[in-house]
Amino acid sequence: MCIREIFADYTELIEPLSLDEAYLDVSDMSLHQGSAALIAKAIKAKIKQKTRLIASAGISYNKFLAKIASDMDRPDGLYVITPERCTQFIEQLSVEKFHGVGKATAGRMQARGIKNRERSKVTALTRFQQYFGKSGQYYYHLSRDIDTRPVNNHRIRKSLEAETTFQEDITSKEDVLEHLQNLLEKNLIKIADKKLDAHTLTVKIKYHKFVQITRSRTLPRAALQTHQPRVSFWKTY
């Protein structure tokens, strides 16, 4: 059972962010007395039971704060940000923690004196728009804890994935390559069925200490089932 299937046992409103990360809207769920914290606890337990993986969960009343909460107390976190404790929690939050603010944007903000949530609150909307164009209004609202984006379970799919969790660690390079090849071929079938093109192959591997590496390679032409591309595994030290 993959992690996405476990999410689906609890709600249909799932917005994937990556292979093992997603937003879940459980606002109207009656499971576990309708408690988002209890639902998150149950999901974490099921993930551990079915995949032997440790998951981190963040709970709040909008996506911006839920994302921040999910990064707290990792790798085995379950963090709740309620409206009552929101202001106290994020008053000194640095702009790097704003979801969607990368290093370059954070540097531009800091260069203009917008170093944390407290400073960003006193910056006018017109200033944000002047500095960051169309994204200015989004950053302005985040600085005031305003995030009205719904959990979108109809996003246009930009990637396809397949994953395997092993009951026991595999250490042979040959075994790793064999499993990667099997996963690749599963995805090539999906791509052909959906009449899609894939130009970038990405491999994610998680070690027994939960250290994860990701490697990508963009191909000169689309990967098709008839091409039967082989995968190679490499590691940086």
CB atoms within 10 A of CB 135: 14
Element (H, E) at 22: strand 21-24
| Chain position carrying tokens 């309708």 | 34
Using an 8 Å Cβ cutoff, are 187 and 171 in contact? no
Using an 8 Å Cβ cutoff, are 116 and 95 in contact? yes
Known catalytic residue: 21?
Answer: yes
Using an 8 Å Cβ cutoff, are 39 and 26 in contact? yes
Count of residues making up the chain? 237
Q: Cα angle vertex 46, ends 3, 177, to 5°? A: 40
Distance CA 87, CA 85 (A): 6
Nearest to 39 by CA among 50, 52, 25, 18: 25
Extract the tokens encoding 2. Answer: 């993959």
Distance CA 228, CA 195 (A): 16
**3-class DSSP assignment, residue 47:** helix
Using an 8 Å Cβ cutoff, are 118 and 92 in contact? yes
Q: Determine which one of 21, 91, 118, 178 is catalytic.
A: 21
Task: State the catalytic residues.
Answer: 21
